[in-house]
Amino acid sequence: MTSPILVTGGTGTLGGHVVPLLRAAGRDVRVLSRHAREPEEGVAYVTGDLLKDEGVEAAVAGSEIVLHLAGGPKGDDVATRNLVRAASRAGVRHLVYISVIGADTVPLGYFAAKLGAERAVAESGLPWTTLRAAQFHDLVLKVVRTMAKLPVIPAPGGVRMQPVDAREVAARLVELTLGDPAGLVPDLAGPKVYPMAELAHGYLRTQGKRRPTLPLRMPGKAGRAYRAGENLSLEGAALGVRTWEDFLAERVG
């Protein structure tokens, strides 16, 4: 019998794709969540909070493989250090982490925390694999739905995105999780690069709506990093297949 794979963030957008894939590969899964849930076929839930460092040891106990997807706008470095400490004590033999493209280059708090988390994983002494992915279509959809409520579409000059399908990220992570520890693997980004406003206009078209565009300049260091494409992966990345248009047609079209 193989030990269950611990998936943190198994209840999130990405985790919702990962868990069924691990099940389809014949693996039992244990999900760490802040909220209690009833077990399902081959999926057990353990209640805990990575940021508060509660329930983490119990979640890790008896799992040889940990796939760490839990994350939020703040504190991924702290949460990951708490997980790494418990995983080290438990002798985990493969720790897999999902990070973001630009973790090492975009000067914003979220990216800095992802870099801190990456370092905690790489310096854990445990065998590890980290994948950096671009923004998921689902996140872009949330952003453009908010933008679509405005009378004009803000168009920060030079800011581009390369959104990727969360299902493709999930499939890659499952492959990595079931493979040997590989360190920092090539990024996974979407197949096309879009100016931010084009993503919003694409969404508006599916709603039969149009809005004028308001050009603006994203200020500061973060603006410079975005204009330089630090959030993109244009060389050496693996590219997904599903485009933003494909996603929209499926989800809101």
Ligand X SMILES: NC(=O)c1ccc[n+]([C@@H]2O[C@H](COP(=O)([O-])OP(=O)(O)OC[C@H]3O[C@@H](n4cnc5c(N)ncnc54)[C@H](OP(=O)(O)O)[C@@H]3O)[C@@H](O)[C@H]2O)c1
Report how many residues bind ligand X under the rule CB under 6 A.
25
Among 4, 15, 190, 240, binds ligand X (CB under 6 A): 15
d(CA 128, CA 185): 10
- Rounded distance, CA 60 to CA 192, Å? 38
Given candidates 19, 21, 29, 69, which one binds ligand X under the rule CB under 6 A? Answer: 69
Give one DSSP letter per residue of 47-83, joined into a string: E-BTTTTBSHHHHHTT-SEEEE----SS-HHHHHHHH
Nearest to 182 by CA among 94, 252, 246: 94
Which whole-number Å values give the CA distances from 179 to 127, 173, 199, in the listed order?
Answer: 12, 10, 35
Only one of the segments 68-76, 144-152, 179-187, 223-231 lies at the binding site for ligand X (rule: CB under 6 A); that segment is 68-76
By rule CB under 6 A, what string of x and - marks binding of each residue 140-159 to ligand X? --------------------
Please give the DSSP secondary-structure letter assigned to residue 236: S
Pairing of strands 238-239, 5-8: unpaired
Provide the strand spans (E) within 69-145. 94-100, 128-133
- Burial grade of 215 (CB within 10 A; 0-12, 13-18, 19 or more): exposed
Hey, which residues between 73 and 92 contact ligand X (CB under 6 A)? 79
Among 22, 70, 120, 170, binds ligand X (CB under 6 A): 70
Residue 124 in contact with ligand X, rule: CB under 6 A: no
182, 121 contact by CB (below 8 A):
no
Q: Which residues in 193-252 contact ligand X (CB under 6 A)?
A: none
What are phi and psi for residue 235, nearest 5 degrees? -130, 135
Q: Which one, 32 or 43, has the nearer CB to ligand X? A: 32
Q: Which stretch binds ligand X (CB under 6 A): 129-137, 192-200, 202-210, 230-238?
A: 129-137
- The pattern of x and - marking residues 17 through 56 that bind ligand X according to CB under 6 A reads ---------------xxxx-------------xxx-----
User: Given the complex with ligand X, which of 71 and 156 has the nearer CB atom?
Assistant: 71
Name the minimum Å distance from CB 50 to ligand X.
4
Interface with ligand X (CB under 6 A), residue from 43, 65, 133, 188: 133
- By the criterion CB under 6 A, which residues form the site for ligand X? 8-9, 11-15, 32-35, 49-51, 69-72, 79, 98, 100, 133, 135-136, 139
